[in-house]
Structure 1
Amino acid sequence: MKRMNLPAPFDAARALAMAQETLSIEAQAVSAMALRIGDSFAEAVASMLACQGRVVVMGMGKSGHIGRKIAATLASTGTPAMFVHPAEASHGDLGMITPADVVLGISNSGESEELNAILPLIKRMGVPLIALTGRTDSTLARHALAVLDSSVDKEACPHNLAPTASTTAQLAMGDALAVALLDARGFKADDFARSHPGGALGRKLLTHVSDVMRSGADLPRVGPSASLMELMGVISAKGLGMSAVVDADDRVLGVFTDGDLRRLIEKTGSSADLRSLCASDVMHANPRTVVADALAVEAAGVMEASRITSVLVVDAAGRLIGALNTNDLMRSKVI
């Protein structure tokens, strides 16, 4: 039976040293690349801005994996983009590219056979080509309208073989393109949210007070002449920990919370006859309110700033139309 060669005992100190060296090499590669940004980068951004179709990102192997991420980042930041595999393009997928598109070709060597094989066809279609490559004298670079230099001095791999620093440089250059493009387009946070409706940012920027507030029969409200007992009954029944006090036209006069009741008892003493009090005697006048079309995250900010756990929602005339508390915001994942 052939004996297996077992690895040497694990050296934790060496592992840490290798990790630190890797990060240092890759950080230096990105920093050096920043110094080479120039007119060609601006030309690439201008070409993508002028694109009436999509930015078609292409790359083989590890460059292909980076290309998929770059395409996704572009698409989520306002620049329509998609990834097309160069090998598949030679077998029919080239039809996915139209004259209205721009192609971003990624290859560290610039000599990827599958990618270079379709360069003449791309040129014949009149599609602008942007090259993202580590060799500015490569075949890919020679065919390109603009060349983005992602060359690195060495890979982080101790054998200088595995794509490490070079793919980090490609990824960083892709991010630089995306950020420059979103800035040029005036792409804002709410635009980003519309592209990410299922994410936390999307919920914060797309969820309005009207989406999460309680309304109608679920609203706790009493008139100013309601007794304290009636007031507490409404608070208990509606489960918001408070009740609005409104006039005959539903305009908000004040608010009373279960916390206010505890403080009232502490102030007056247990011997006081609270049954003689009415809502107008105990309410807080001019409470904090929000409007229905405000963002739910703004309502959360009002509650946090005022150190309250619920807030009333009013219309332009100050009439009560809703209410919400922190539990409502947590259920909707706004906070």
Structure 2
Amino acid sequence: MAGILVWFWNERFWLPHNVTWADLKSTEESTFPQAEDLYLAIPLAFCIFCIRLLFERFIAKPCALALKIQASGPQKAQYNAILEKVFTSITKHPDEKRLDGLSKQLDWDVRNIQRWFRQRRNQEKPSTLTRFCESMWKFTFNLYIFTYGVRYLKKTPWLWNTRQCWYNYPYQQLTPDLHYYYVVELSFYWSLMFSQFTDIKRKDFGIMFLHHLGTISLITFSYVNNMVRVGTLVMGLHDMADVLLEAAKMANYSKCQKLCDLLFALFALVFLIARLGVFPLCTASKEIWVYIDTSKLLFYLPVLYTGIAVLTTFFGEQRSLM
């Protein structure tokens, strides 16, 4: 394990020529990102998860009920021990052979058995109330962190001149505001990772797990090798679209279809411009080649960041509004 860690954190991969991890150790005069800074994200993620539970119960749920969103879910299937065992232990989509066997065993018509499995599968889906509360929480957090990001970034030189992301790299100072921005973003995605195992399991569980894992990896590794300036720009671009997506979902659950269509159209426009246009075609894959020695393998990482970000956001955010 020690050998694997030494290989993984090889300075020749992560850092420019003649730069070592020791050079990036924080001192009284200089503060640089440290890997151990991110340990704070785990307990903070738990706190965010607890805040989410309180928010959904005492704020989001009353708002949903005021909008006449029903708490009742889909019709429940009549309990049957044999069918329940097949559903939970064998398959949720029985084939014709199994349906015939169950029909003979229970003396039920095949259509009734198919109906039972369909109703039982629908029970696994969260109610509209649950989905509204979840979207309202994500909307609120994304709006907060996006607003914070805009207020922070408008004071930074690299928002107005993205070449500043690479000047004097990697000897770029870490400020308290930048550290807070990164740790809170990382904590939020860790909290989403945790909540996947406590929420009702959905059919896109695997896709969203990979999406959150990819996002956590991008935030973590860009912090460790001090690519935090471009990282803040990326997070701002992503949060901008997420606000609109969650707002569109809330409008859909509230049956405000015209508002939903408008918000989703804005989301699609912002998504295409920000994530698939501005980000991969500007700083991450163009300017870095001009300002940094690209002879080392490290500097293929921004391209890797771009690829992972595009893939995870495409598959993660293009879920159905339903």
TM range (shorter): under 0.3
- Length-normalised TM-score, structure 2: 0.21
**Relative contact order higher in (CA < 8 Å, ≥ 6 apart):** 2
Q: Whose helix fraction is larger, Structure 1's or Structure 2's?
A: 2
Name the larger-Rg structure.
Answer: 1
Q: Whose strand fraction is larger, Structure 1's or Structure 2's?
A: 1
- Length-normalised TM-score, structure 1: 0.21
